[in-house]
């Protein structure tokens, strides 16, 4: 089968290519998915899990990409809950070969059924952004109706979903980003927008939850904005500055079949819209990884046509 691989940690992107790889092995409780559309995270060549398995052993050549939408073609020993021919979407394991491939082996529990009327290209944009936004706001941030949440990077993949989910939960939403993001973020349902380049972050006052996707100085300065009993949530790096009388949480997104199914329902109902940016074929994945100005939204790799 054809797959995108990376071979040499030191070479990084220069070592990424379209390669012939063996068809994957379905381990216990796995499914093999024929990948129709895949998502990746631009920074994943810096993740240790891209290069080593759970025991820290070299696992190159490895296949990047951890989001998929596709069709189940094989069940591993003991696998229940999914069937051959079923449309699915979800999150692939971090320390195994990923989704920039024609076929991939995934633990069945990491996937949810995909309704027939949701396009694979849209579904592949949802797993990381959708689950991260939900877990950050509600599991870690404990955001509830009537509270105020400050969402940094609100026009991005995670932030744009977070704005929509927080708004629907009845929270007051302050989104941040660059000047050009203002109309888009307000259009997603934010009550207020702060341009981080020209406006003073400290003017937003106290909030119950900060949801940060930017890190650095923006994250450090946000700790002081957390109201007593509130939470600073970040998905970039463990925070250096803690809220005076609140919690600080850094987390890595976890698979969750039930939540994926809920996100798919919201998508079908028109209550949630992931931002799909460029859609490119598998052979163009190395170019899509390259740094540079991107079309706003999640870049999706279309691996197989329907």
Ligand X SMILES: NC(=O)c1ccc[n+]([C@@H]2O[C@H](COP(=O)([O-])OP(=O)(O)OC[C@H]3O[C@@H](n4cnc5c(N)ncnc54)[C@H](OP(=O)(O)O)[C@@H]3O)[C@@H](O)[C@H]2O)c1
Please give the residue ranges that form the binding site for ligand X (CB under 6 A): 41, 43, 128-129, 132, 153, 155-159, 177-178, 196, 213-214, 235-236, 252-253
The residue among 105 and 214 lying less far from ligand X, judged by its C-beta, is: 214
Structure-block tokens of residue 231 = 């939470």
Nearer to ligand X, 178 or 271 (CB): 178
CB of 136 to ligand X, least distance (A): 8
Write down the least CB distance from residue 27 to ligand X, Å: 24
What residue is closest to ligand X based on CB?
Answer: 156
Question: 192: number of CA atoms within 13 Å, CB side?
Answer: 15
Q: CA distances (Å), 216 to each of 223, 240, 279, 304, in order?
A: 12, 9, 30, 38
Minimum distance of ligand X from residue 15's CB (angstroms): 20
Beta carbon nearer to ligand X, 34 or 221: 221
CA 294 to chain CA mean position, Å:
17
How close are the terminal C-alpha atoms of the chain, in Å? 17
In the numeric block, which tokens belong to residue 74? Answer: 């094989």
Alpha helices (runs of H) in 55-213, residue ranges in sequence order: 120-123, 127-134, 157-168, 182-188
CB of 239 to ligand X, least distance (A): 12
Least distance CB 296 / ligand X (angstroms)? 7
Of 82 and 213, which has the nearer Cβ to ligand X? 213
The least CB distance from residue 74 to ligand X, in Å, is 29
Pairing, β 103-107 against β 30-39 = antiparallel
Distances from the Cα of 214 to the Cαs of 42, 78, 148, 159, in angstroms?
Answer: 14, 41, 19, 10
CA 277 – CA 207 distance, rounded (Å): 31
Q: Which is nearer to ligand X, 79 or 129 (CB)?
A: 129
Q: Which is nearer to ligand X, 32 or 285 (CB)?
A: 285
């Amino acid at each position: 089968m054809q797959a995108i691989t990376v071979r040499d940690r030191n070479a990084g992107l220069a070592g990424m290519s379209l390669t012939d790889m063996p068809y994957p092995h379905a381990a216990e409780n796995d499914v093999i998915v024929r990948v129709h559309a895949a998502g990746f995270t631009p920074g994943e060549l810096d993740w240790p899990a891209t290069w080593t398995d759970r025991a820290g052993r070299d696992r190159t050549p490895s296949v990047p990409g951890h989001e998929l939408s596709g069709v189940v073609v094989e069940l591993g020993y003991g696998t229940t809950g999914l069937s051959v021919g079923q449309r699915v979407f979800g999150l692939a394991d971090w320390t195994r070969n990923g989704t920039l491939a024609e076929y991939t082996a995934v633990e069945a529990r990491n996937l949810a059924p995909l309704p027939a009327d949701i396009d694979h290209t849209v579904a592949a944009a949802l797993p990381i952004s959708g689950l991260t936004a939900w877990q950050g706001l509600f599991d870690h941030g404990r955001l509830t109706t009537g509270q105020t949440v400050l969402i940094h990077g609100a026009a991005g993949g995670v932030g744009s979903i977070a704005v929509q989910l927080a708004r629907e939960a009845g929270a007051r939403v302050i989104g941040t980003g660059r000047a050009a993001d203002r109309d888009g973020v307000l259009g997603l349902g934010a009550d207020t927008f702060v341009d981080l380049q020209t406006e003073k972050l400290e003017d937003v006052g106290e909030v119950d939850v900060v949801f940060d996707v930017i890190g650095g100085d923006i994250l450090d300065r946000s700790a002081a904005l957390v109201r007593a009993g509130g939470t600073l949530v970040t998905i970039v790096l463990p925070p250096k500055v803690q809220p005076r009388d609140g919690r600080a949480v850094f987390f890595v997104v976890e698979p969750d079949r039930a939540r994926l199914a809920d996100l798919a329902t919201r998508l079908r109902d028109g209550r949630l819209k992931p931002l799909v940016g460029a859609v490119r074929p598998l052979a163009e994945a190395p170019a899509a990884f390259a740094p540079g100005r991107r079309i706003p939204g999640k870049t999706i790799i279309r691996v197989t046509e329907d």
